[in-house]
Amino acid sequence: MTISVGDKLPDVKMVKATAEGPQQVQSGEFFAGRKVALFSVPGAFTPTCSAKHLPGFVEKADELKAHGVDEIVCTAVNDAFVLGAWNKAGGSDLITMLADGNGEFAEAVGLTMDGSGFGMGKRSQRYSMLVNDGVVEQLNVEAPGDFKVSSAEHMLEQM
């Protein structure tokens, strides 16, 4: 079942990419007590993700924070090393990378996709959500192949 607005995020292990190396976190603890703009991509270094999705959140980070967002988080079914390298290559210190290497978070929120046709296996769908104290306030899931509603611009329009 897909997560919905008003639902609490599931509590699963994820890995935060940090300058000191990977750091395990529990999603329940990570999202507790703050407002988080979360976006998920099918994969680091993929065309739309690198050209539009990540750069859009980097460009709009200050505006999101001006609307009360405490942290901006990107997640993908990639390992923390890949997400850390992707953030270093085209991201920003304003974006926190939370690796969902085994796809447990994507599966728990019901937002997986099958990328086997591209040699990618099970991945996360492209989406964004605004999470307040672990509860979903906005959820914007893209249709396959689209990039419209999960953008930072769209999230800002909803605020």
Looking at residue 121, its pLDDT comes to: 60
49 is catalytic: yes
Which one is catalytic: 49, 83, 136, 139? 49
Separation of alpha carbons 91 and 67, rounded Å? 21
Write the secondary structure of 14-31 as one string of H (helix), E (strand) and C (coil): EEECCCCCCEEEEHHHHH
Sign of the alpha-carbon torsion through 60, 64, 69, 70? positive
By the 8 A CB rule, do 39 and 149 touch?
A: no
Q: Does the structural domain 13-141 have CATH classification 3.40.30.10?
A: yes
Looking at residue 145, its pLDDT comes to: 84
Separation of alpha carbons 74 and 99, rounded Å? 8
What tokens appear for 147 in the block?
């990039």
What's at 75, amino acid-wise?
Answer: T
Q: Structure pTM?
A: 0.92
Q: What is the pLDDT along the chain (159 residues), one digit of tens a residue?
A: 689 999 999 999 999 999 899 999 999 999 999 999 999 998 888 777 777 888 899 999 999 999 999 999 999 999 999 999 989 888 788 999 999 999 999 999 999 877 677 766 687 889 999 999 999 999 999 988 889 999 999 999 999
Separation of alpha carbons 30 and 25, rounded Å? 7
